[in-house]
Chain A
Amino acid sequence: MSNIDPDKMVDQLTRPIRKTSAFYYVVVLALLMAVCWGLFAWTCQLTRGLQVTGLNNSVAWGVYITNFVFFIGISHAGTLISAILRVSGAEWRRPITRAAEAITVFALVLGASQILFDLGRPDRALNVILYGPLRSPLLWDVVCISVYLLSSIFYLLLPLIPDVAILRDQRLVLGWRKELYRILSFGWDGNPEQKRRLEKTIGIMAVLIIPIAVSVHTVVSWIFGMTIRPMWHSTILGPYFVVGAIFSGIAAIIIAMAVLRKVYHFEGYLKPIHFNYLGLLLLTMTALWFYFTLAEYLTIGYGALPEEWHVFEAKVAGEFALMFWIMVGSMTVAFFLLLFCRSKWPIGGTVAASLFIVVGMWIERYTIVVPTLVKLTGRGYPPGMYYPSWVEWSITGGSIAGFILLYVLFVKLFPIISIWEVEESEEAVVEKLANMKRYFPCVSSAPTES
């Protein structure tokens, strides 16, 4: 990193907070309108009941559950990636972590609300906590997701403390925001003892959050895996979902980073090399995703148990073939984009691949949830196809807009690139180099352990 004057850096990184362009208001307004439209659709659903959806007794779960799985997947972007990079000491993470952690919190909020949209009696949602028996996988989700949400909020706020202190000391903003910064900086004055403790706590949280995040997507998959339905009842589902979650999560960060870089001119911070490295991670996940998909589909197709075969056939060559092959196609395109264009064209290449992946992963979730229900045999139901209604699409659109809106508002309140962590880059490099020397063979006979 070229030497950068700290004052200039603070100035650059807090600019989104200090200056608001007209474009920003336009974006917020557009998002608000989309959210309101979604809320309107939800009111329709609340007043008329779930008959306004395309669901029926045969296909009782649809787009809302798909969105739920999708959003929880996106949420793995942040916390898990930033935790893994922190724990493994990848120094290039520094400008990325905050942007990633914020995704987690907001995606979780929107993900959890999908369940509320799906309930026939949302007014009774508390019954789950009042009477819920531990044997229900849905309860495991409630527990794990709440723990994950709380710990991600904590994990987002912790590294914010020094940055919020900077904002507090700058006295640039007034009113309620000043008060907010005062509270959230928890009396930070930057003395070495505080710093040491903060880093230690962040370290502990980073380690803790990894198993929590893995547990969350595992139990999400177990909602399906624990039932005895064809192509849901599969032991591979847990890891398959976790891989898919990290996969779509990284893609989401790349998109968010590219937008931030463009809009706020963070070219000096979010560099092509960051996209390149994240792209490499993404490439690995694409390969893993293909491996899991192949393992799952080949086993089922080859075994061809009648019950599973019906679902398999519908996905590969029947009603859902178009969606299925669009999904496989987007992942293939993404794979080759990442393989060949990543190093030459790091930003454009990874962003294009990420867009394919995010869309592909939504379709993946859909083709896991819906075809199984459509093609079930043995229930003695009139066959029911499922076509999502305008209400379901509107609520989905509103949720995506709501997610982006929360993110956009966050950027306005807090530095989206962690100032203190970037500031410390250079010290970290020195430390890292000293540490790396320990790997080298000893030249002198005396041990160089410190």
Chain B
Amino acid sequence: MDENRRNFLKKAGSAALGLGCGFPLLMAGCSTNGHSSEENSSSPNQWAMVIDVQKCKEPAIRAACIEACRKEHNLPTNPPPNQPAREVKWIWSDKFETAFPDQAHKYLAENPADLQVLLLCNHCTEPACVKVCPTAATWKRKSDGIVMMDMHRCIGCRYCVVACPYGSRSFNWRDPFPDRNDIDKQARKEYPTRSRGVVEKCTFCAERIRLWQERVDKDPKLLESEPAPIPACVEAANRVAGGEGALRFGNLGDSQSEVSRVLRDQNTICRQLALGTGPNVYYLV
């Protein structure tokens, strides 16, 4: 009798194992298909950026943007020597032909080798990084379309790093602040420091967006004078002479916003559109 029961348990157990294996896969298949409807329909809002490539030819403008972002988000300022590929960067500048491999044909008016463009996370509509993250440490925020990053949940598997087609994600190969004194000296107290072994990337200055949102929620009239939050890089570019409007930021869900207007009136391109990730950073060339 005892034997009988054990046998039954074994069979039941093995059947459960078999089912347990197939079911999650099925569910997962459905959930990957469903993500577009689930995450985008809830809100039409999507923050986006338009970058004027011609204006950004000026190295001072690009440098100002990159520096402002570094300061704002406590990026380690000391990239390891001889290891350029280990630098932590949110916004950076690279050759047109590496950023737009599908646009750089031989007869381009300008020698693409000389043309530098500003690059950052595209806050994709169908982000490749979000799909693969096994902990949801990176996710697409439903309310405004920002692809967020939780550096305190990330396990550092770097799946998102290999999945993002735009090179927007950096891993902390070493301690961002090896010297505790550095934290006191350089760190902006308002921005969290992170540990070694996690991934980070541009968040469109989500912290500024939150402050702006709080102000607007309190006093909706503010929307007229301050129609959109201003990310650190945009602010820095505007401050440089000739950099006014080199970077523009706004809500695509609002047809009156500055970015919507620019996109309507002028021709813009995106990085690697063919991949279907739906980037939300546009380039005026």
Q: CB within 8 Å of B: which residues of A?
A: 48-51, 55-61, 115, 118-122, 124-125, 127-128, 130-140, 142-144, 147-148, 150-151, 154, 186, 193-194, 197, 200-201, 204-205, 208, 211-212, 215, 219, 223, 226-229, 306-307, 373, 376-384
Contacts and interface: CB of A to CB of B under 8 A. Distances in A.
Given A50-B173, A127-B153, A380-B167, A205 B14 contact: yes
Interface stretch (B18-26, B50-58, B211-219, B227-235): B18-26
Contacts of A148: 21
B21 A227 contact: no
Interface string B52-96: 000000000000000000000000000010011111000010110
Given A378-B166, A378-B271, A136 B134 contact: yes
Contact of A140 (B3, B24, B175): B24
A242 B197 CA distance: 32
B246 interface: no
A133 B135 CA distance: 6
Interface of B: 3, 6-7, 10-11, 13-15, 17-18, 20-22, 24-25, 27-28, 31-32, 35, 80, 83-87, 92, 94-95, 98-102, 119, 128, 131-137, 153-159, 161-167, 169-175, 195-199, 271-272, 275-277
Contacts of B87: 57
Among A48, A118, A143, max chain B CB count under 10 A is at A143
Given A60-B171, A379-B98, A120 B198 contact: yes
B155 A127 contact: yes
9 contacts: A49-B172, A51-B86, A61-B158, A133-B136, A147-B17, A208-B18, A212-B18, A228-B163, A380-B167
Contacts of B84: 382, 384
- Nearest first, the 3 closest Cβ-Cβ pairs linking A and B are A120-B156, A120-B197, A379-B167
Q: Secondary structure at chain A's binding surface: helix, strand, loop or mixed?
A: helix
Contacts of A194: 3
Among B13, B102, B155, B197, max chain A CB count under 10 A is at B155
Given A57-B167, A380-B94, A120 B158 contact: yes
B85 A134 contact: no
Nearest to B157: A119
A120 B24 contact: no
B20 to A, nearest CB: 6
A50 B197 contact: yes
A120 B161 CA distance: 12
A79 to B, nearest CB: 13
B135 A127 contact: yes
A165 to B, nearest CB: 14
A140 to B, nearest CB: 6
Contacts of B134: 128, 132-133, 136, 138-139, 142
Given A136-B133, A229-B163, A380 B98 contact: yes
A6 B35 CA distance: 63
Given A49-B175, A118-B157, A228 B17 contact: no
B24 A143 contact: yes
A197 B3 contact: yes
Contacts of A61: 158, 162
A223 B154 CA distance: 18
B172 A151 contact: no
B192 to A, nearest CB: 15
B83 A56 contact: yes
Among A51, A60, A197, max chain B CB count under 10 A is at A60
Given A51-B174, A215-B25, A228-B165, 8 more contacts: A57-B86, A120-B154, A135-B28, A201-B10, A226-B131, A228-B277, A380-B92, A380-B95
Contacts of A200: 7
B135 A128 contact: yes
A60 B28 contact: no
Among B10, B32, B102, max chain A CB count under 10 A is at B10
A138 B163 CA distance: 12
Nearest to A46: B197
A127 B31 CA distance: 20
Given A49-B174, A121-B155, A211-B18, A379 B135 contact: no
Contacts of A307: 101
Nearest to A127: B135
Among A120, A138, A143, max chain B CB count under 10 A is at A120
Contacts of A150: 17
A194 B102 CA distance: 68
B155 A120 contact: yes
Contacts of B86: 51, 56-57
Given A138-B159, A147-B17, A378-B272, A127 B137 contact: yes
A389 to B, nearest CB: 12
Contacts of B135: 124, 127-128, 130-132
Nearest to A373: B162
B85 A378 contact: no
Contacts of A118: 157-158
Given A127-B135, A212-B18, A201 B7 contact: yes
Nearest to B21: A147
A133 B109 CA distance: 46
Contact of A120 (B7, B14, B157): B157
A377 B27 CA distance: 33
A139 B159 CA distance: 12
A116 B135 CA distance: 15
Nearest to B118: A380
A228 B153 CA distance: 25
